[in-house]
Structure 1
Amino acid sequence: MSFAKCFGLTQPEGKKAMIGYHFSRRATLAVAARCSFLLALGAAAPAVQAAEVKVISTVALTPTLDELIPKYESSSGNKVAVVYSTIADLKKRIEAGETADVVILSRPVLDGLQAQGKVAPDSIVNVGSSYVAIGVRTGTPKPDISTQEKLKNALLAAKSISYADPAKGGASGVYFAKVIDRLGIADQMKSKTVLVPGAQAGELVAKGEVEMGVAQASEIAAVPGAQVVGPLPGDLNSAIVFAVGVGSTSKDLEVAKSLIELLTGPTGAAVLKSKGMDPP
């Protein structure tokens, strides 16, 4: 703030006033003191601090968040820290006391956490849905999995297959283990199955380390070099609805909501679709 502006004058008016008028010494000192106080007050005002948003998310949203977070940080000035893991693992950690500003999990699990007071009331919004899919390396022939019998034959014919370790709680792995049991081929598949801790099946397929991978379609589609064959046939098909909510301990609700709005808005929907997920 300039000296002249302390009087509420523009610069030209302030200059004219100082030249054309004579103030008493007392008035001048009073104004000077006022200006010094205002200038000191302005200098002492704290700068606006960027917020850090902690996110807990299922690995199924990794491809989407990897693209959206830089956009959010650039436009908002806030920083985002993400913890990724399987739904089962994150559920246990949140129930044990781990907290975050934004939580992204399957809708049923998120609803359950809200009932426990771990997620803020009325803050849950659906993000999108994905299905358990078969994936193969890009450029290789896609196996016919259009019926249960054809899926069974394709699995038996595959030299190797990978999916998330059911013991670690990956949703697609837990489900696919049940599918194999239902098809009656669990024993035949054991020797050629490579279990992974999370969403790495698509990566193994892309590298040629396994012939076939099973994961969420969004996880496979996001891996360069891997292609989605399609969902499991008939009533074996399983879709998961993912949702997002505000952690009940978040100290900055508006910041948390701003990230959620980006994820669930038009920009987020376009990214979700490009990553093999269906927006709500």
Structure 2
Amino acid sequence: MRKLFCTSLILAINVLLVSLSYAADIQVITSGAFAEALKDLAPEYEKQSPNKVMISYGSSMGAAPDSIPSRLARGEHFDVLILAAPALDDFVKSGTVQSGTKLDLVASVMGAVVKAGAPKPDISTMNGLKLALLNAKSVAYSASASGVYLSTELFPKMGISEQMNKTARKIYSERVASVVARGDADLGFQQVSELLPIPGVDFIGELPPEAQKTVLFSAGITSDTQNLAASKDLIKYLASNKAVATIQKAGLKPVLPAIPW
């Protein structure tokens, strides 16, 4: 009996040592749309894996010092990038992200907020959205994917670019809702998942279908990663049914793609 116990104990220790030997600190940088979901998903992943998730944050695009392109250009190292799919595609083309490792995780839509307690304009129609934009003394929007769409596509389409040049501004290195919460803008636009977690604002709704821009956010593994297997394991978890409830709670729509590896 003692011999059997000792043998079982040795086997258990060996299994533990093997697990620990494969444990990795996965360096992940995510843009804002997936940030809140990842904060909650990382500890859940760590419960069923020896790996640890080390999270950094930055916008998908732009020249702000803390944007993902700027941080990579400075030589900062990450294993996994999570950002707007078009921006990730650029990193695949440049060789920064390994070809064949891109995986779409979520679809994200845009919405708007006002300061808590302020009147809520109706933006459920194109006319209502246009009136809200023109009546606001100041408008804030993201310097990342959603803001680029607003300033280069939606405002021109609505014929209000000239007016928006006077009252609207891009927000760098900060959540748009934080700017609205402290009263520095009357109306703020960003991905819904980036607006909902911020206190001091009231969410007034998603953009109407005619104005909406759904953006896919995807994960990819960098070409210089030393943790390929662990990085793949994390992405598989983020793209699985296990992550669905947390992703939906964060205001995102899970994609649940087929896993290519």
User: Is this a same-fold pair by TM over 0.5?
Assistant: yes
Equivalent in the alignment of 2:29:
56
Equivalent in the alignment of 2:223:
248
Equivalent in the alignment of 1:238:
213
- Number of residue pairs matched by the alignment: 239
Measured in 2, the distance between the counterparts of 1:264 and 1:225 equals 32
Measured in 2, the distance between the counterparts of 1:234 and 1:47 equals 48
Equivalent in the alignment of 2:191:
216
**8 Å CA contact 2:115, 2:200 repeated in 1:** yes
Does 2:100 correspond to 1:128? no
Does 2:59 correspond to 1:86? yes
Q: Could you tell me how far 1:85 is from its partner in structure 2?
A: 1.3
**Which one scores higher on RCO, CA 8 angstroms, separation ≥ 6?**
2
The DSSP-based 3-state class of the residue aligned with 1:100 is coil
> Radius of gyration: which is bigger?
1
Unaligned runs of 5+ in 2: 6-13, 62-66, 256-261
Measured in 2, the distance between the counterparts of 1:203 and 1:267 equals 31
The one of 158, 169, 181 aligned to 1:206: 181
When the two chains are superposed, the root-mean-square deviation of aligned CA atoms in Å is 3.1
TM-score using structure 2 length: 0.77
The DSSP-based 3-state class of the residue aligned with 2:246 is helix
TM-score using structure 1 length: 0.72
The one of 241, 245, 249 aligned to 1:266: 241
The one of 35, 43, 46 aligned to 1:73: 46
Change (3 A) 1:171 1:47: closer
**8 Å CA contact 1:73, 1:80 repeated in 2:** yes
After TM superposition, the structure 1 = structure 2 runs for residues 1-280 of structure 1, keeping only pairs within 5 Å, are 9=3, 48=20, 50-88=23-61, 89-91=67-69, 93-94=71-72, 98-165=76-143, 170-178=144-152, 179-280=154-255
Measured in 2, the distance between the counterparts of 1:243 and 1:174 equals 18
Measured in 1, the distance between the counterparts of 2:108 and 2:233 equals 24
The DSSP-based 3-state class of the residue aligned with 2:177 is helix
Unaligned runs of 5+ in 1: 12-41
